[in-house]
Amino acid sequence: MAAFLVSWSITTTPLAKQWHFAKRNARLYVSCDKNQTEISHENFDRRNLLLGMGGLYSSSNLPSILPAFATPIEAPDFTKCSRGTNLNTGQPLDVNCCPPLSREFIDYKLPPVKKMRFRPAAHLATKEYIAKFEKAVELMKALPADDPRNFMQQANVHCAYCNLTYEQVGDKDLRIQIHNCWHFFPWHRWYLYFYERILGKLIDDPTFGLPFWNWDNPEGMVMPAMFANSNSPLYDARRNLNHLPPAIADLAYSGKDAKHPSKIIPHNLTLMYREMIRHARHLEDFYGAKYSTGSQPNPGPGTVERGSHTAMHSWVGEATRTGEDMGNFYSAGRDTLFFGHHANVDRLWTVWQDLRGSKAKHFTDTDWLDTTFLFYDENARLVRVKVGDTMDNIRLGYDFQKVDIPWQKNKPKAHVKKSKIASTSGAPSADRVFPVKLDKVVKILVPRPKKSRSKKDKENEEELLAIEGIDVDTATFVKFDVFINDEDDDPYVLDKAEYAGCFSQLPHKNSSRVKTKIRLGLNELLEDLDCEDDEYILVTLVPIAGGEDITIGGIKIIYVS
């Protein structure tokens, strides 16, 4: 008698009255003999799912009692929120991010849009708007400490969802993390959505919208004056005092000020071009890697998250090892500038969707669309929301002030075309190097499985450099840069085609080792360097911050349609 094995579970908790693969304690043996099934309750990891391959054991032949194979992250159970312990050291954490406890929630329904909320560019905001914003924040800070709409309670919302505070529903051995994955954009959109509505309710203005810090535009790259006024409720003393106005925001910041200050603006513009156009052709590369129940946190960040987003957190945060407030995930929400920063990140999501034209703008995977989170709304009600409702900011009832987008035309130029450095460098091949600790500059030759591709080939398939098994400790700020066929060897010149991109990570309060990955688009880059016919490319990995704590598992070229 042949048989195959399926792991699945039934969950009927208040947060998940549906079939899903959450618990890891059910085994189902399905015999090929008609009408014979056997169920046993052995401890079996659902992530080791075994399923017959094709033919007789295809999904169409499974018993009707089997659930659909969807495992979206479910809204956490607040009753199981605890301060927890450092996952590396086992020591209790010295911060408690847990929200006010409520056992009841309602499923949130987007209200009809009667009046659109307007989000202005912070550097263009009027005195009247700034006064209104300051009053709203002042009132939020004055709310009772146990009110979930209180300023510190709202700051803790971000802390709880990013500091490994919540168990994954159905898999208590894993924690929820909304960064470094495909939930980065939608979770933060919901967070700002309710924060904005709370502020609007406190000042009785249904049109109030958060300002966005327009740091991708030279006109808005200086910290907005409203946040730099030490007499304002918008001010935070835990910032890098060297970066107050008139300092220009550095989108490549890595804990040290730029070696070439005059190049900050051109660097910023070409960095944005890479994040929003060159490396953002595929949904996964822009949004981040898939993350569902049973998955380890931090599967891989998207282009904006690992680049300008992280750089600006670090640039604003206190000039200390831990970088509070903005420079550390657990405390970032304590700075009102966090919301101006993320309002711009949210705007960039909308801009990217507009640039896509008729191309797909979001995932259709139910593991993404059906993911749920819990927030307190402007009436202090606990509500459950879905990722699938975040696709359109207009449907959510807010829009952004229109501003110029100069980085669209700032495609980086090659320093050297038709370089022969890959064939003359003497660098070792990738299969002889990895894994490698990134405590020094590493140069490797990476073979290209396909070369001399036609225009149609490149339209159908993106050539990507996949850097995998990036092993880091989440408690540290780390960054490394990636260069292709670079003869210049100046790691601080970034407005050139040879600079392929970066990986960076903001520190967390909770410490754990993770393995993650990034992908860098090569189609346009190789055209710019005029090396599409080359059999190898020379990849240079340059540790910028925390290299002694970074290990790279491997590098290869892949093709994705």
Residue 309 annotated to the active site: yes
CATH for the 421-560 domain, from 1.10.10, 1.10.3470, 2.40.50, 2.60.120: 2.60.120
Let me know how long the chain is.
561
How confident is the prediction along the chain (561 residues), in pLDDT tens digits per residue? 343 333 333 333 333 333 333 333 333 333 333 333 333 333 333 333 322 323 322 333 333 333 345 599 999 998 888 766 665 566 677 788 899 888 889 999 999 999 999 999 999 999 999 999 999 999 999 999 999 999 999 999 999 998 888 999 988 889 899 999 999 999 999 999 999 999 999 999 999 999 999 999 999 999 999 999 999 999 999 999 999 999 999 999 998 888 889 999 999 999 999 999 999 999 999 999 999 999 999 999 999 999 999 999 999 999 988 899 999 999 999 999 999 999 999 999 999 999 999 999 999 999 999 999 999 999 999 999 999 999 999 999 999 999 999 999 999 999 999 999 999 999 999 989 999 999 999 999 999 999 889 999 999 999 999 999 999 988 889 999 999 999 987 888 999 999 999 999 998 887 778 999 999 999 999 999 999 999 999 999 999 999 999 999 999 999 999
- What is the spatial distance between Cα 169 and Cα 167, in angstroms, rounded to a whole number? 6
Taking each helix axis from N to C end, the angle separating 151-162 and 184-202, rounded to the nearest 10 degrees, works out to: 170
Residue 341 annotated to the active site: no
Domain boundaries, the chain: 3-61, 78-409, 421-560
Residue 362 annotated to the active site: no
Candidates 20, 123, 341, 342; catalytic one: 342
71 touches 22 (CB < 8 A)? yes
Candidates 20, 179, 243, 341; catalytic one: 179
For the residues of 166-212, what is the DSSP string, one character each?
SEETTEEEEE---SSSTTHHHHHHHHHHHHHHHHHHHTT-TTB---B
* Nearest to 99, CA basis, from 377, 297, 295: 377
55 touches 78 (CB < 8 A)? no
* Nearest to 471, CA basis, from 500, 430, 435: 435
Q: Which amino acid is present at 120?
A: P
Torsion of Cα atoms, 323 then 327 then 333 then 336, to 10°: 100
Residue 329 annotated to the active site: yes
- Binding site, by residue number, is 158, 179, 188, 309, 313, 342
3-state secondary structure 208-254: ECCCECCCCCHHHCECCHHHHCCCCCCCCCCECHHHCCCCECCCCCC
Candidates 267, 309, 341, 508; catalytic one: 309
Torsion of Cα atoms, 514 then 515 then 521 then 526, to 10°: 120
**Architecture of the domain defined by 78-409:** Orthogonal Bundle (1.10)
Residue 260 annotated to the active site: no
- Binding site for Cu cation, by residue number, is 158, 179, 188, 309, 313, 342
Candidates 123, 279, 313, 508; catalytic one: 313
Candidates 21, 329, 373, 483; catalytic one: 329
Candidates 123, 188, 243, 362; catalytic one: 188
- What is the spatial distance between Cα 507 and Cα 504, in angstroms, rounded to a whole number? 10
Residue 179 annotated to the active site: yes
- What is the spatial distance between Cα 158 and Cα 160, in angstroms, rounded to a whole number? 6
- What is the spatial distance between Cα 337 and Cα 329, in angstroms, rounded to a whole number? 14
* Nearest to 544, CA basis, from 488, 499, 503: 503
Residue 194 annotated to the active site: no
* Nearest to 466, CA basis, from 282, 276, 272, 270: 282
**Average pLDDT across the chain, whole number:** 87
